[in-house]
Amino acid sequence: MEPWKIMQPSFAAKYVGYLVPALNNIGKQASPSVDRCIDTEKIVRYEINMALALSAEGFAWSHALKHKLRPNVDNHNHAGKSQSYLAHDDDHRNTIPVNHEPAAKKLKVDPKRSETEAAEEEEERLTYLRKLIPGGSGEMMVDDEILLSELGSYVSCLELQVNVLRSMLQFN
Amino acid sequence: MNRALPEMLPCSDMTVLQRQRARLKWQAEQFQQQSYFCELSGVFTSQNVHVQGFQQGGLVSGCGGGDSVLSNMEMTRQLKPDPGLEAAWPELGKVDMGFGSCGYGNGPSFDMNHAISRTSSCPPAVAAAAVEVKGNAEKMGSAVGRESFKKRKVEKLQNSKVVAEDESKRIKASEEEEEESKITGPNTNKITNHKKENSGDTSKDNSKVSEVQKPDYIHVRARRGQATDSHSLAERVRREKISERMKYLQDLVPGCNKITGKAGMLDEIINYVQSLQRQVEFLSMKLATVNPRLDFNIDNLYAKEEFPSCTTNFPTVGMAPEMANHSPYLQFNPIQQVVSGCGVEMGMGMGMNSSDMALRRTISAPVSIPDASFLNTTCFTGPQQQIQPSAPWEVELQNLYNVAFTDTIEESDLKMEM
């Protein structure tokens, strides 16, 4: 957590530094076409995620995100994945309401429930969180402690990212 | 040798040390077998072991079992029976042997609530008796079958929940317990932080902590009334770390202050992460539609930053407004890009042809990651006062700066003065 606090201030600057030129490059590419609109979205999404991964070096999730976006030659698992983690997460997102509500309802259960039930609930939520964070299911984040630390930095980065994107669009 | 200590030994470290040394020998044997725990359990079960006393005394010990997970654990046991004093004491004497129901090596940090400090209150008679008992205890220890150790551990756990006994007993027990034996296990390393934590927690404990510590020993203490086996110690440490992280997340995620309980917190975190991801997705889509226009005004924006007279020297760029020279700008190309990117829309329609020159200069300059500290400190040195919005876009840039950076950096930057 401490390293993240040190990195935080430079994150926004780095992020913009990565993203803006990338976006500019998109604008200068091939002539517009119908398909390009869709592609642009994907490309933009890709660049956004890439900027996120590059601006927050040193975290397991950023590493995993980078690999997801830029599959390495030797990493066959990622070979066919979509470039956008968001697209990947769409599946999860769609299932979110379904999966999540039962968990939410469990909270209303008798507080005297046994410890094992509570532990199971927590486990359930933790596995859910693992799906949300890039690399959460990987080997780096098997430990709960590490998962929670990574979550902290990931959430901060997401917030910063949203702020930057919002301000970029604000004066449109 | 310690047994040779004759007269009344004042409760002192010396006594403790000596006792410890004496015990080390036979303890080492038992540890190596890692059946340590089994040994004494039998002994204790048969007796009314006031295990609580031991636990209170902060039996801590990481058994340096070979298979202990945390290599940093060190075993410290408290041996100290004082059978002479009371009936219960003989048991204590035996307890010391194995007491190590210590956690083995899993990096536990126990907080000993009581401690060793109690020893100081022991009457000399106790000490004398302790010496004798010690001798007996050691003999017993060796004689005790290893098999009983596990039982003892169980019993100790049970006893830990027993209501505190009377004070005198505890005080005496504590004296006995204070002695710690250092046990070397295959994986012992030294952890001193726990000790320091403990000392912070309990003033009493510090005094009796054995000073004779080999570099590879780690003292861990169990809280009063808590189990002291290595597994639970490790568990406890892990839980503490996890709760610490959860607190951090609680600060991070808005609206979590009122939520207690891990499950609820995790729920909130899940919701928050999902909402953030959705926002990013949404913003990216928006950005994609805007994108074609982005490159229009970047030139303009770049150019503007180059003008020394422009107050674009601008906080957004992270530079103190009073800096007129260009060199800082060149260092902050990424930031300049920020401005340009962000202000692209603002620059729309502002044809500043002269900016082309400046733009090229900017583009050719090496891009370097701006110094975070510089950016942060200057950003907050009154950007608002120093900016004179001479142009409408400057105002927007200023706003942009505030929006983009205030939220995101407010906490960390202000505190950071690198």
Distance CA(B318)–CA(B321), nearest Å, equals 9
Is this model's pTM higher than 0.80 or not? Answer: no
Share of chain A above pLDDT 90, in %: 0
Q: Which of residues 57-116 of A touch B (CB under 8 A)?
A: 86, 89, 93, 96, 100, 103-104, 106-107
Interface test with A, best of B236, B283, B290, B293 (most A CBs within 10 A): B283
Mean pLDDT of chain B: 53
Is the CB of residue B369 less than 8 Å away from at least one CB of chain A? yes
Do the chains contact at B274 and A132, CB–CB below 8 Å? yes
Q: What is the distance in angstroms between the CA of the first residue and the CA of the last residue of chain B?
A: 57
Residue B9: what pLDDT? Answer: 47
Q: Is the pLDDT of residue B275 over 90?
A: yes
Residue B346: what pLDDT? Answer: 42
Residue B337: what pLDDT? Answer: 44
Tell me how close the Cα of B76 comes to any Cα of chain A, in angstroms: 27
State which residue of chain A sits closest to B288, comparing Cα positions. Answer: A41
Determine phi and psi for B78, rounding to 5 degrees.
-110, 125
Give whole-number Cα distances, B317 to A43, B304, B386, in Å. 27, 12, 13
Residue B13: what pLDDT? Answer: 55
Give whole-number Cα distances, B96 to B79, B89, B136, B150, B182, in Å. 3, 11, 11, 14, 12
Determine phi and psi for A164, rounding to 5 degrees.
-65, -45
Long-range residue pairs from B321-325, CB within 8 A, at least 24 positions apart, any chain: B321/B383, B321/B386, B321/B387, B322/B386
Interface test with B, best of A57, A112, A172 (most B CBs within 10 A): A172
Distance CA(B27)–CA(B137), nearest Å, equals 12
State which residue of chain B sits closest to A103, comparing Cα positions. Answer: B267
Highest mean pLDDT, choosing among A129-143, B180-194, B196-210: A129-143
Residue with tokens 């207690």: B260
Highest mean pLDDT, choosing among B33-37, B104-108, B119-123, B353-357: B33-37
Residue B272: what pLDDT? Answer: 92
List, in sequence order, the alpha helices (H) in B291-354. 298-306, 327-331, 333-342, 344-347
Q: Is the pLDDT of residue A28 over 80?
A: no
Residue B33: what pLDDT? Answer: 58
Do the chains contact at A162 and B404, CB–CB below 8 Å? no
The predicted complex's ipTM stands at 0.77
* Helix (H/G/I), strand (E/B), else coil: B25: helix
Do the chains contact at B249 and A148, CB–CB below 8 Å? yes
Residue A32: what pLDDT? Answer: 57
Q: Which residues of B touch A153 (CB under 8 A)?
A: none
Distance CA(B192)–CA(B76), nearest Å, equals 13
Window from A6-10, A49-53, A145-149, B205-209 with minimum mean pLDDT? B205-209
Q: Which of residues 260-289 of B touch A (CB under 8 A)?
A: 262-264, 266-267, 269-270, 272-274, 276-281, 283-288
Highest mean pLDDT, choosing among A105-109, B227-231, B233-237, B406-410: B233-237
Q: Which of residues 195-254 of B touch A (CB under 8 A)?
A: 238, 241-242, 245-246, 248-249, 252-253
Distance CA(B71)–CA(B3), nearest Å, equals 32
Q: Which residues of A touch B243 (CB under 8 A)?
A: none
Q: Which residues of A touch B276 (CB under 8 A)?
A: 155, 158-159, 162
List, in sequence order, the alpha helices (H) in B253-326. 262-290, 298-306
Residue B276: what pLDDT? Answer: 92
- β-pairing, B103-104 vs B62-63, is parallel
Distance CA(B306)–CA(B294), nearest Å, equals 19
Do the chains contact at B274 and A5, CB–CB below 8 Å? no
Residue B126: what pLDDT? Answer: 47
CB B237 within 8 Å of CB B107:
yes
Q: Which residues of B touch A50 (CB under 8 A)?
A: none
pLDDT range class, residue B38, cuts 50, 70, 90: very low
Residue with tokens 């002192």: B12
